[in-house]
Amino acid sequence: MPARHQRLIDRPAASDELAAALAAIREELGLDAEFPPAAEAEAAAYAADPRLPEPDRTQVPFVTIDPEGSTDLDQALHLERDGDGFVVHYAIADVAAFVEPGGAIDAEARRRGQTMYAPDGRVPLHPPVVSEGAASLLEGQERAAYVWTMRLDASGDVTGTTLERARVRSREQLTYREAQARIDGSDAMLGLLREVGELRITLEEARDGASLDMPEEEIARHGDDYRLERRELLPVERWNAQVSLMTGMEAADLMLGAGRGILRTMPRPPKGDVRRFRKEVRAIGEEWAEGEHYGAFLRRLDRSKPTTLAILQVARRLFRGAGYTVLDGTAPGGGSDASLIQAAIGAPYAHTTAPLRRLVDRYVLAHCEAIANGRDIPAWASKGLVGLPEIMQESGQVASRLERESIDAVEIAMLRHRIGEDFDAVVVETRKDGATVQLLDPPAEAACATSAEPGERIRARLVEADLAARRLRFEEAR
């Protein structure tokens, strides 16, 4: 992280005013962490007497890998060699075992859509007694799970997949840093995660997949103060993400084969957006070879350079238009239809691996388990697809606004002392009333009065940083 940016985030923001601004954002969005009494009572009853499936896979030494302090643990994994290839066991929390279709938890989860993360607390999708307790794949606890078993060849390609509901027991709860240290220390099982992850990244490149791999932008609380902190991803996070992506791709293939389910889709970026991005990259000062796919270009960027985050920020426009597509039996069985592709992944894909935090995953898992075992899809899962894309789109918009406005508030609080200073910036969008610029350092996005065209590099002067109005405004320095 550039030293200048480090000094910026080390300057505490005005805690009382910032806390009030953050609370106001949650209130405006109608976010309330409290659950209706009926949902709490239902959750407590299920948690006290969980419904565990008959198949027992507690002998598989699963481990979880999550951010530090996580308690809602959706996934656990175990890998082993299989000749020249690999076997990947991936356990996903069985939330359906704790939710009565049409019951109080179900109704509240459909109202919320997903867990919302705010700097002053999260608003969970399910009551914590379930999401952080009885359904979470906590270390040493016997839990219900959907267990995926995927066989891979020497190239990392999947050659066979099974899926069952079974009992599991995680052996360890590892943070990303702990897992990375184990891998660096030659841990045999986790070393396979590195091998499989790298193979899957190579396959992603071959299908023209693309990933932003943005540094985590966290609003951290330090006593009564908040600070914006950015952390570069560890290699294990990318490898772990590849296992999740692989599972989502397998889920999509199962549902496409049956013509039933719900996919996560995204169109390829328009050629005009790619041309604009190339111009912006040039203005920022990075070399991008003609003919190189934007996914390959993003993968090779040096994450330690201060300009890289600015490039990743403007690249977000290439990842727009994501949605959900319901398969109702009329869609073609296969992934050749471009409308069924998730373009950033370069293949059909489904949200599958985070049912504690995202509503749609519960329905995907129920569809996939039935399809994989030749059974009828549960009626609740099939009927529940009605209105589900709209629920997920709306909750996704709320989550994005919560994240964006919270980060904006912290940036304003920390930039207020720099009114009148000039910053290097690239114009990323123009409108009748002005433009949006991407600052290079700190890598923030803001409104700016300028006649420059998208992709042009300018000097932007900070003229307003109003926390109460949550407004950050620049003008081009002449």
Q: Which of 39, 50, 171, 197 has the alpha carbon at shortest distance from 109?
A: 39
Distance CA 373, CA 379 (A): 16
Q: Which residues contact 271 (CB under 8 A, 6 or more apart)?
A: none
In this structure, the chain runs to a length of 478
- pLDDT at position 28: 93
Alpha helices in 119-175 (DSSP H): 128-129
Strand-pair category, 116-118 with 121-123: antiparallel
Q: What is the mean pLDDT of the chain?
A: 90
Residue 431 pLDDT grade (very low, low, confident, very high; cuts 50, 70, 90):
confident
Cross-strand pairs, 5: none
- pLDDT at position 456: 86
Region 142-167: mean pLDDT is 98
State pTM to two decimals. Answer: 0.89
Q: Which residues contact 397 (CB under 8 A, 6 or more apart)?
A: none
Distance CA 253, CA 57 (A): 25
Least confident of 71-80, 218-227, 318-327, 407-416: 218-227
Given a cut of 70, whether residue 9 has pLDDT beyond it is: no
Region 23-48: mean pLDDT is 94
Distance CA 281, CA 401 (A): 26
Tokens of 309: 């985050």
**pLDDT digit string (tens) for 407-417?**
888 888 888 88
- pLDDT at position 5: 31
Q: Please name the residue that has the structure tokens 């002449």.
A: 478
Strand-pair category, 457-466 with 471-476: antiparallel
Cross-strand pairs, 264: 324
- Residue 223's CB is within 10 A of a number of other CB atoms, namely 7
**pLDDT digit string (tens) for 297-355?**
999 998 777 678 778 888 988 999 999 999 988 654 444 577 899 999 999 999 999 99
Cβ atoms of 424 and 459 closer than 8 Å: yes
- pLDDT at position 227: 66
The type of residue at 351 is: H
- The CA R_g of the chain, rounded to the nearest whole Å, is 23
**pLDDT digit string (tens) for 257-269?**
999 999 999 999 9
Cβ atoms of 155 and 203 closer than 8 Å: yes
The type of residue at 195 is: E
Judge if the upstream peptide bond of residue 55 is cis by omega within 30 degrees of 0.
Answer: no
Cβ atoms of 75 and 248 closer than 8 Å: no
- pLDDT at position 416: 85
Given a cut of 60, whether residue 21 has pLDDT beyond it is: yes
- pLDDT at position 8: 34
**pLDDT digit string (tens) for 278-299?**
988 988 888 899 999 999 999 9
- pLDDT at position 309: 75
- pLDDT at position 118: 84
Given a cut of 80, whether residue 244 has pLDDT beyond it is: yes
Q: Which of 138, 133, 132, 143 has the alpha carbon at shortest distance from 51?
A: 143
Distance CA 108, CA 86 (A): 40
- Residue 339's CB is within 10 A of a number of other CB atoms, namely 10
SS3 content of the chain, % helix, strand, coil (to 5): 40, 25, 35
Backbone torsions φ then ψ of 357, nearest 5 degrees: -115, -10
- pLDDT greater at residue 129 or residue 230: 129
- Residue 318's CB is within 10 A of a number of other CB atoms, namely 21
Most confident of 212-216, 331-335, 392-396: 392-396
Residue 475 pLDDT grade (very low, low, confident, very high; cuts 50, 70, 90):
very high
Residue 445 pLDDT grade (very low, low, confident, very high; cuts 50, 70, 90):
confident
Given a cut of 70, whether residue 207 has pLDDT beyond it is: yes
Cβ atoms of 146 and 162 closer than 8 Å: no
**pLDDT digit string (tens) for 109-125?**
999 999 998 877 889 99
- pLDDT at position 11: 44
